[in-house]
Amino acid sequence: MTEPLALVGENIQRTFPRSGFTLDVPRVEAPAGSVLALLGPSGSGKTTLLLILGLLDQPDSGRVLLGGRAVTGRDRDARFQMAAVFQRPYLFKGSVAENVAYGLVMRHVPRAEIASRVEAALGRVGLAGYGSRSALSLSGGEAQRVSLARALVLEPRVLLLDEPLANLDPLLKRRLTHDFARILRESGATALWVTHDHDEAIVVADHIAVMNRGRIVTHGPADEVMGLPVDEWTAVFLGMEEPQTGTVVGSAEGLVEIAAGSVRVVVTGDAPVGSAVEFSVRPEDVILFEEGVELPLSTARNQLPVRVESVQARGTSNHIVLETDGMRLAASVSRSSTADLGLEPGRRALAVFKATAVRWKASTP
Amino acid sequence: MQLFVETWRQGWVMLASGSVDVWQIVWTSLLLSGVATLVAVLIGLPVGYIVGAKRFLGRRAALVIFNAGMGLPPTVVGLIVAMTFSRRGPLGFMNLLYTRPIVVIAQLIIAVPVVMAITAAAVAAVPRELTLQARSLGAGQLRIGALTLSEARMGLLAAVAGGFGSIISEVGAVSMVGGNLEGDTRVMTTAMMLFTRQGQYGPALALAVVLMAIVIFVNVVLTGFQTSADRWEAGAR
In sequence order, what DSSP letters do the residues of A158-203 get, joined into one string? EEEEESTTTTS-HHHHHHHHHHHHHHHHHHT-EEEEEES-HHHHHH
Contact (Cβ atoms closer than 8 angstroms) between residue B72 and residue B113 = yes
User: Which one of A134, A147, A159, A194 makes the best mutation probe of the B interface by having the most chain B beta carbons within 10 Å?
Assistant: A134
pTM of the model: 0.75
Give CA separation, A232 vs A90, A217, A354, A359, in Å.
37, 11, 24, 16
Chain B nearest C-alpha distance from A40 (Å):
21
Give CA separation, B133 vs A44, A52, A165, B148, in Å.
22, 14, 16, 12
- In our burial notation (b when 16+ CB lie closer than 10 A, e otherwise), range A1-36 reads eeebbbbbbbebebeeeeeeebbbbeebbbebbbbb
Contact B136 A83 (CB under 8 A): yes
Q: Is the pLDDT of residue B18 over 90?
A: no
User: Which one of B126, B132, B137 makes the best mutation probe of the A interface by having the most chain A beta carbons within 10 Å?
Assistant: B137
> Which residue does chain A place closest to B143, by CA atoms?
A106
How many other C-beta atoms can be found within 10 angstroms of the C-beta atom of residue A186? 11
- Rounded-to-integer distance, Cα A323 and Cα A331, Å: 11
Which region among A7-11, A357-361, B150-154, B233-237 has the lowest average model confidence (pLDDT)? B233-237
- Rounded-to-integer distance, Cα A28 and Cα A8, Å: 6
Q: Is the pLDDT of residue A150 over 80?
A: yes
Which tens digits make up the pLDDT trace of B153-184? Answer: 889 989 999 999 999 999 999 999 999 998 89
Apex A10 CA angle, A9 and A16, nearest 5 = 80
Q: Which helix (H) or strand (E) is A308 found in, with range?
A: strand A302-314
Q: Is the pLDDT of residue A258 over 50?
A: yes
Contact B150 A92 (CB under 8 A): yes
Residue of B133, B235, B237 lying closest to A86 (CB–CB): B133
**Dihedral, A229, A230, A236, A239 alpha carbons, nearest 10:** 0
Give CA separation, A270 vs A228, A355, B189, in Å.
17, 12, 95
Residue of B138, B151, B229 lying closest to A79 (CB–CB): B138
Query: What is the structure's pLDDT at B19?
Result: 62
- Rounded-to-integer distance, Cα A190 and Cα A294, Å: 50
Q: What is the ipTM of this complex?
A: 0.75
Contact (Cβ atoms closer than 8 angstroms) between residue B224 and residue B212 = no
- Rounded-to-integer distance, Cα A88 and Cα A146, Å: 12
Return the closest-CA partner of residue A9 out of A57, A43, A42, A44: A57
Q: How confident is the model at residue A94 (pLDDT cuts 50, 70, 90)?
A: confident
Contacts of A150 in chain B (CB under 8 A): 137
Give CA separation, A40 vs A44, A163, A208, A214, A216, in Å.
6, 11, 10, 10, 9
Return the closest-CA partner of residue B225 out of B156, B179, B172: B156
- Rounded-to-integer distance, Cα A102 and Cα B208, Å: 48
Residue of A76, A106, A137 lying closest to B137 (CB–CB): A106
Over the Cα atoms of chain B, what is R_g? Answer: 21
Contact A134 B151 (CB under 8 A): no
Chain B nearest C-alpha distance from A50 (Å):
11
Q: Is the pLDDT of residue B8 over 90?
A: no
> Which residue does chain A place closest to B154, by CA atoms?
A93
- Rounded-to-integer distance, Cα A338 and Cα A319, Å: 10
Q: Is the pLDDT of residue B40 over 60?
A: yes
Which tens digits make up the pLDDT trace of B118-139? Answer: 999 999 999 888 888 999 999 9
SS3 content of chain B, % helix, strand, coil (to 5): 80, 0, 20
Contacts of B151 in chain A (CB under 8 A): 92-93
Strands A158-162, A82-85: pairing is: parallel
Residue ranges of B 146-185 with Cβ closer than 8 A to chain A: 147, 150-151
Tell me the DSSP string of A70-104: EE-TT-HHHHHTEEEE-SS--PPSSBHHHHHHHHH
Query: What is the structure's pLDDT at A224?
Result: 87
Which tens digits make up the pLDDT trace of B53-93? Answer: 988 888 999 999 988 888 889 999 999 999 999 999 999 99
Contact (Cβ atoms closer than 8 angstroms) between residue A41 and residue A196 = yes
Contact (Cβ atoms closer than 8 angstroms) between residue A92 and residue B147 = yes
Contact with chain B for residue A106, Cβ under 8 A: yes
Contact B127 A83 (CB under 8 A): no
Contact (Cβ atoms closer than 8 angstroms) between residue A318 and residue A312 = yes
Contact with chain A for residue B143, Cβ under 8 A: yes
Query: Which residues, at least 6 apart from A226, have a Cβ–Cβ distance to it below 8 Å?
Result: A198, A201, A202, A208, A238, A282
Chain A nearest C-alpha distance from B59 (Å):
17
Q: Which residue has the higher pLDDT, A4 or A210?
A: A210
- Rounded-to-integer distance, Cα A183 and Cα A1, Å: 13
Contact (Cβ atoms closer than 8 angstroms) between residue A100 and residue A146 = yes
Q: How confident is the model at residue B236 (pLDDT cuts 50, 70, 90)?
A: very low
Q: How confident is the model at residue B231 (pLDDT cuts 50, 70, 90)?
A: low
Contact B132 A51 (CB under 8 A): yes
Contact A137 B233 (CB under 8 A): yes
Alpha helices (H) in B89-200, listed in sequence order: 100-124, 128-136, 141-151, 153-168, 172-178, 188-197
- Rounded-to-integer distance, Cα B138 and Cα A314, Å: 43
**Start-to-end C-alpha separation, chain B:** 49
CB pairs under 8 A between A and B: 66
